[in-house]
Amino acid sequence: MQDAHGDLGSLLRAWRDRLSPLDVGFPAGDSRRAAGLRREELASLAGLSVDYIVRLEQGRARRPSEQVASSLARALQLTDAERDHLFVLAGLLPPSPHQVPAHIPPGVQRLVARLGEIPVAVFTASWDLLSWSPLWTALLGEPVRPASGRPNLLRAHFGNLMLGDGGGRIVSRSGSVDAFGASLVADLRRVAGRYPEDRGVRALIAELLSTSEEFRVLWESGIVGEHESESKVVSNELVGDIALDCDVFSVAGTDLRIVAYTAPAASEAAAKLDFLRVTMAAALH
């Protein structure tokens, strides 16, 4: 009888082989011997070492952690059923429907990968940053990864931190900074009510209550609502201030948020985004 864990390596190889580089934002190239992703590309997408990918595919590593399994599922653009099967083969319990969803459906991943002309990112309902486009990085900087977990918008806002490292920062909003913080807190209370058993949400609230007086006052006010789109001015180290529309879209059935920055065609802001796009492309070659 075949070892159930032995299927993990062969499935990872099959899932990697079926995924087009174009679906993850990589050029297909003429020198590829196979149509799928290379191991080093999967490793880069999942934030893992190439050696660990090799060991998983060869069956020498059989028990990836929950965080690693989730990263692989997102990088391989698995369906919910495939992600759950990956968890089972890894000896893990599939994510509960009572947890804030953190799995990005394949269609959303393809959307983000192909929107190369827009700074766009995907967040969970509790504002953990999951995925982002290269132009998001050019505009706001490489997302700062904490020692554990994922970058989080509320933790950054109420801790006076930046989500991105060195690229740019938001210097003004169509609403006040106080209104932005209140909107985030109202939204988090709504999410906490929707997912009362999610340990990550409870831990985030407890952390912010203990570290931010501003958050504590807003939380104790009992406000409930949904975070909305707004206009923002981003100060970027290469092009200066850029006035952009920031729109938030919800993904039906997942509670994921897609955040996109756009500018009117032929505007000064659009020209600055074009410059960042060209500069980014030149740096990659």
Report how far Cα 172 is from the mean position of its chain's Cα atoms: 23
Q: Domain for residue 137, yes or no?
A: yes
SS3 label, residue 162 = coil
Domain boundary among the residues 39, 63, 89 is at: 89
Q: Domain for residue 119, yes or no?
A: yes
Q: What is the pLDDT of residue 31?
A: 66
Most confident of 116-120, 188-192, 222-226: 188-192
Contact 143, 259 (CB under 8 A): no
**Residues 241 and 201 both lie in one domain:** yes
Q: Which range marks the domain in which residue 52 is found?
A: 6-89
CATH number at 17 reads 1.10.260.40
Q: Domain for residue 252, yes or no?
A: yes
Domain count, the chain: 2
Q: What is the pLDDT of residue 28?
A: 67
**Residues 274 and 152 both lie in one domain:** yes
174 burial via Cβ count (<10 Å: 0-12, 13-18, 19+): middle
Domain boundary among the residues 64, 89, 114 is at: 89
Q: Domain for residue 94, yes or no?
A: no
**Residues 150 and 28 both lie in one domain:** no
Residue type at 284 in one-letter notation: L
pLDDT, tens digit (0-9, with 9 covering 90-100), for 29-63: 656 666 788 999 999 989 899 999 999 999 888 88
Q: What is the pLDDT of residue 53?
A: 94
Does the structure show a pLDDT above 60 at 172? yes
Domain boundary among the residues 61, 89, 117 is at: 89
Contact 96, 80 (CB under 8 A): no
pLDDT, tens digit (0-9, with 9 covering 90-100), for 91-137: 999 988 888 998 888 888 888 877 767 999 999 999 999 999 889 99
| 3-class SS shares of the chain: helix, strand, coil, % to 5 | 45, 15, 35
Q: What is the pLDDT of residue 283?
A: 73
**Residues 167 and 54 both lie in one domain:** no
pLDDT, tens digit (0-9, with 9 covering 90-100), for 140-151: 988 888 877 789
Residue type at 3 in one-letter notation: D
Residue type at 211 in one-letter notation: T
Does the structure show a pLDDT above 60 at 6? no
pLDDT, tens digit (0-9, with 9 covering 90-100), for 268-283: 999 999 999 898 877 7
**Helices (DSSP H) in 199-244: which residue ranges?**
199-211, 213-220
**Residues 142 and 47 both lie in one domain:** no
Residue 3 pLDDT grade (very low, low, confident, very high; cuts 50, 70, 90): very low
Q: What is the pLDDT of residue 4?
A: 45
Which residues lie below 8 Å from residue 103, measured CB to CB, with a gap of 6+? 70, 73, 74, 78, 80, 83, 95, 254
* Percentage of the chain lying above the pLDDT 70 cut: 93
Residue 1 pLDDT grade (very low, low, confident, very high; cuts 50, 70, 90): very low
Q: Read off the DSSP letter of residue 58.
A: T
Q: Domain for residue 97, yes or no?
A: no
| 233 closest CA partner among 172, 161, 162, 167 | 172
Q: Domain for residue 218, yes or no?
A: yes
49 burial via Cβ count (<10 Å: 0-12, 13-18, 19+): exposed
Q: What is the pLDDT of residue 2?
A: 40
**Residues 79 and 136 both lie in one domain:** no
**Residues 254 and 168 both lie in one domain:** yes
- Please give the C-alpha separations between residue 19 and each of 13, 15, 157, 170, 205, in angstroms, as whole numbers: 10, 7, 36, 35, 38
**Residues 118 and 53 both lie in one domain:** no
Residue 253 pLDDT grade (very low, low, confident, very high; cuts 50, 70, 90): confident
**Residues 148 and 46 both lie in one domain:** no
Residue type at 232 in one-letter notation: K
**Residues 85 and 189 both lie in one domain:** no
Q: Domain for residue 101, yes or no?
A: no
Scan for tokens 């807003």, then name that residue: 218
**Residues 193 and 221 both lie in one domain:** yes
Contact 193, 132 (CB under 8 A): no
- Please give the C-alpha separations between residue 1 and each of 6, 10, 14, 142, in angstroms, as whole numbers: 11, 16, 21, 47
CATH number at 165 reads 3.30.450.180
Q: What angle do CA 57, 61, 63 make, to 5 degrees?
A: 115
Q: Domain for residue 272, yes or no?
A: yes
**Residues 161 and 211 both lie in one domain:** yes
Cα–Cα distance for residue pair 246/119, rounded to 1 Å = 10
| 23 closest CA partner among 14, 35, 31, 13 | 35
